Amino acid sequence: MNALTTITLKAPYLLLVGAETDPTYAKTGLGIVQWRPERVLGQLRFPGCGIDLGVPDFTVAEAAAAGCGSLVIGVAPVGGRVPESWWDVIAEAARAGLDIVSGLHLRLAERPGLSEAAAAGGGRLVDVRVPPKDLPVGTGKPRTGKRILTVAADCAIGKKYTALALARDLVAAGVDASFRATGQTGIMIAGEGVPIDAVVADFISGAAETLSPAADPDHVDVIEGQGSIFHPGYSGVSLGLLHGAQPDAFVVCHDPLREVISGWPHYALPPLEQVIEDHVHFGRRTNPDIRCIGVSVNTSRLEPGQRDAVLAELSDRTGLPCVDPLVDGTGAIVKRFLQGA
């Protein structure tokens, strides 16, 4: 059985952002620029695009002339599909010899004419959101090793960034730790993982067990969370991942300015205390010793001078270390985990 989805991408990348206006749905491009900047050539934007990844703009022709290896579709919209008008540019890139890399639910080869364009250009069509075959049903049985899961009240709130930062900081502290990717962007960054939202529902918890198998007692897997158990559309994925991951500890990712589910404005976010309490409640089903070890706070939209006060207030409320992993690192959370608190 092939336990993980494994990919090898040809660098450098041209990140297709198109006409996207909401950074929530540009998380693939933003994540690659943050964690793999050395692999990025630039971005491809259309008129009206409201997103800037902070890298140079290129056309397909300019990128091909500069030696670009792959056009990476840098957005993750609701439903996993991009607008019809984008496909002409994607086909142009294929004809120019660039590999086309997609985390969409649509398989690239199913797009009329795209296989022919790739054959003419000599490039590959790389689908990232393809789970490995023959995944098992979850057993719920305890397994050796330690696990940390990132969770949240909503999507696109920092679970991937936090997991990557935790894995990095654990290794820096001398811990044998691995980042375990569960989404298309994480897989592009790590080179392997399981796209958990593409797994048939019966096998989600089993996929999580496969992603983070039994390991040495001191090894720590940091598992990238997906969706939210509170999300009206994606809660099934998140609960299956929680049960299959069997985390010893979890970190809640939090945006202090977000009040409703992104894209579902008729659903208010639950209080942070409830997020912690409910994850402990449901997580105990497969790991009775689960605990929350910290809060990862996205402070990027706070006004200057607000950050310290917000972090202090959240820490007072929860009794936990509250940090922005991109500003502070996750050292305080790592320390709490290693102390067993």
The whole-number average pLDDT for the span 283-300 is 97
98 neighbors 72 (Cβ within 8 angstroms): no
**Between 325 and 156, residue with greater pLDDT:** 325
pLDDT at 131: 94
**Between 263 and 87, residue with greater pLDDT:** 87
122 and 169 in a single domain? The answer is no
150 and 114 in a single domain? The answer is no
110 and 202 in a single domain? The answer is no
Amino acid at 186: G
96 and 238 in a single domain? The answer is no
**Between 304 and 188, residue with greater pLDDT:** 188
User: Is the peptide bond between 12 and the residue preceding it cis, with omega within 30 degrees of 0?
Assistant: yes
pLDDT band at 82 (very low <50, low <70, confident <90, very high): confident
276 and 204 in a single domain? The answer is yes
Burial class (CB in 10 A: 0-12, 13-18, 19+), 8: exposed
The total domain count for the chain is: 2
90 and 217 in a single domain? The answer is no
pLDDT 10s digits, 316-336: 999 999 999 999 999 999 999
For residue 212, give its domain range.
146-339
pLDDT at 81: 79
Task: Provide the CB-side half-sphere exposure for 312 (13 A, CA).
Answer: 5
Other CB atoms within a 10 A radius of the CB of residue 268 amount to: 12
Alpha helices in 9-86 (DSSP H): 27-35, 60-65
In this structure, is residue 135 part of a structural domain? no
Q: Which residues contact 87 (CB under 8 A, 6 or more apart)?
A: 111, 114
pLDDT 10s digits, 14-70: 999 999 998 888 999 999 999 999 999 999 999 999 999 999 999 999 999 999 999
Cα–Cα distance between 91 and 102 in angstroms, integer? Answer: 13
224 neighbors 181 (Cβ within 8 angstroms): yes
Q: Which residues of 132-142 are buried (b: 16+ CB within 10 A; e: fewer)?
A: beebeebeeee
Rg (CA), the chain: 20
Residue 151: which CATH number?
3.40.50.300
The whole-number average pLDDT for the span 160-175 is 98
Cα–Cα distance between 263 and 300 in angstroms, integer? Answer: 20
Tokens of 215: 């390991």
Residue 104: which CATH number?
3.40.50.720
201 backbone dihedrals φ, ψ, rounded to 5°: -55, -40
Percent of the chain at pLDDT above 70? 99
The whole-number average pLDDT for the span 104-132 is 95
pLDDT at 206: 97
Using the predicted structure, report yes or no on whether residue 1 has a pLDDT greater than 60: no
In this structure, is residue 136 part of a structural domain? no
54 and 88 in a single domain? The answer is yes
pLDDT 10s digits, 222-243: 999 999 999 999 999 999 999 9
The whole-number average pLDDT for the span 119-139 is 96
pLDDT band at 78 (very low <50, low <70, confident <90, very high): confident
Using the predicted structure, report yes or no on whether residue 2 has a pLDDT greater than 80: no
In this structure, is residue 139 part of a structural domain? no
In this structure, is residue 261 part of a structural domain? yes
Average pLDDT, the chain: 95
**Stretch (H or E) spanning 187:** helix 184-190
**Stretch (H or E) spanning 333:** helix 331-339
What global pTM score does this model have?
0.94
245 neighbors 213 (Cβ within 8 angstroms): no
Percent of the chain at pLDDT above 90? 92
